[in-house]
Chain A
């Protein structure tokens, strides 16, 4: 780790505010991954996540004084801005599962399964992951956010509550309802291929 990597966020931001491009790039590289993954997991859309991350850093670039070190970490501040952008994006969209970006073999863009299993097993796993993601995206935004933070990003209830800016009880309640909806949705998704298979068999028997 270089000396620059150890430099505090607020110091880097001050340097960036004075026109130091490298300091800004370092800040970007430090935070973009987490913000992008959060936006992607919440929106299910790589383009939207990209736009949101770019927009967040543009905001930071244009007005670095918006961040007040006394009120928390820069990461928390950036997460808050990202969260607002994501929620606005979701408000604008019609309620639909937006795993629309498929590669040539039908897989959702960005999903990478790193294992040594056969292509058939990999395809099956990828399909499963897509189903789970579709189920997560089908949750209402506030429940989805709690599930993304606590289950996908493995943050503690306290952290999630701090990031969203609500009591722990609210997080617990949202998670409870989100889990219930998610399990029901996953059950439905698990049963759908089974039902489709049964229908096909019944049609063939006739």
Chain B
């Protein structure tokens, strides 16, 4: 083995597993006979001891704890933020759906109550106006219904008790048509159109009529 070969492969012959036993033996023989390579080896061993001291001095070093903290923070941002966002979107949709349902239910209730009111109005029996006024509170709906009914003129042959299930209809008729209901008509104004309220019974026949104010007066 030459000095150059020893420098290239013989200096660390013990550690280099790719060398053969023969090469190792040649390296050992060379260093035993060559003072230059022997000195080189001593110098390298000294350098290696110093490298070992550096390795030992830095062996226990780890990344500071703040690195793990930052990574955990980033991990949380990366994996939890989309989850939170998804939850928020789902929650928003759920709230919107709940609001729609509540609105729909409220509307249906309101509609039902409106219908019930109308039915109550129409179903209110035509009572004795005087009695109604005495029994009901001044601002009660029953009184209002009674007041309305009190303006009606019952057609000939109809009793107030027959109007229990009657319905009020607003109709536009010629004044002359009132004659057909048994009411007196001014012949001069018979062709005039007027709006009257008819109280129509369950049988569909008019039972009472409410005339416009000016006609009553």
Q: Would B64 and A25 count as touching, CB distance under 8 A?
A: no
Q: Does B58 contact A (CB under 8 A)?
A: yes
Instruction: Digitize B30-64: 1 where CB-to-A-CB distance is under 8 Å, 0 elsewhere.
Output: 00000000000001100110110111011111111
A residues in contact with B68, CB < 8 Å:
25, 28-29, 32
Report if A36-B63 is in contact (Cβ < 8 Å); known contacts: A133-B54, A183-B43.
yes
A146 shortest CB reach to chain B, Å: 11
Q: B67's closest neighbor in chain A, by CB?
A: A54
Cβ 8 A contact of B71, one of A54, A136, A179:
A54
Interface size on A, residues (CB 8 A): 52
**Across the interface, do B51 and A157 meet the contact criterion of CB distance under 8 Å?**
no
Q: Looking at the complex, which of A6-14, A89-97, A167-175, A197-205 is the stretch in contact with chain B?
A: A167-175
A157-B54 in contact (CB<8A): no
Given the known A-B contacts A33-B63, A128-B50, A151-B48, are A175 and B71 also in contact in the complex, defined by CB atoms under 8 Å?
no
B122–chain A nearest beta-carbon distance, Å: 65
Closest residue of B by beta carbon distance from A47? B64
A-B contact count (CB 8 A): 118
Interface residues on B, range: 35 or more
A78 to B94, CA, bound (A): 44
The answer on a CB contact under 8 Å between A21 and B75 is: yes
How far does the alpha carbon of A21 sit from the alpha carbon of B78 in the complex, in Å? 11
Q: A25-B68, A61-B74, A176-B8 are in contact. Are A110 and B61 (CB under 8 A)?
A: yes
Chain B residues whose CB sits within 8 angstroms of the CB of A180 once the complex forms: 7
Complex interface: chain B residues within 8 A of A25 (CB): 68, 71-72
Q: Say yes or no: B67 contacts A153, CB within 8 Å.
A: no
Inter-chain contact A172/B16, CB cutoff 8 Å: yes
Main secondary structure of the interface of B (DSSP, over half): helix
**Partner among B11, B55, B76 whose Cβ is within 8 Å of the Cβ of A176:** B11
Q: With an 8 A cutoff between CB atoms, is B70 at the interface?
A: yes
Considering only CB atoms, which chain B residue lies closest to A182 in the complex?
Answer: B47
CB of B22 closer than 8 Å to a CB of A: no
Distance (whole angstroms) from the CB of B41 to the closest CB of chain A: 11
Q: Which of A21, A126, A176, A182 makes the CB contact (< 8 A) with B72?
A: A21
Q: Is the CB of B18 within 8 A of A157?
A: yes
Most buried by A among B9, B50, B53: B50
Q: Chain B residues with Cβ under 8 A from A206's Cβ?
A: none
Residues of A within 8 A of B53 (CB): 125, 128-129, 132
Other than the known A57-B67, A111-B58, what 15 A-B pairs have Cβ atoms closer than 8 Å? A19-B83, A21-B76, A35-B63, A36-B61, A36-B63, A37-B59, A129-B50, A129-B53, A152-B58, A156-B17, A157-B15, A172-B16, A176-B8, A179-B47, A183-B44
- Cβ-closest 4 pairs across A and B: A19-B79, A36-B63, A152-B55, A132-B50
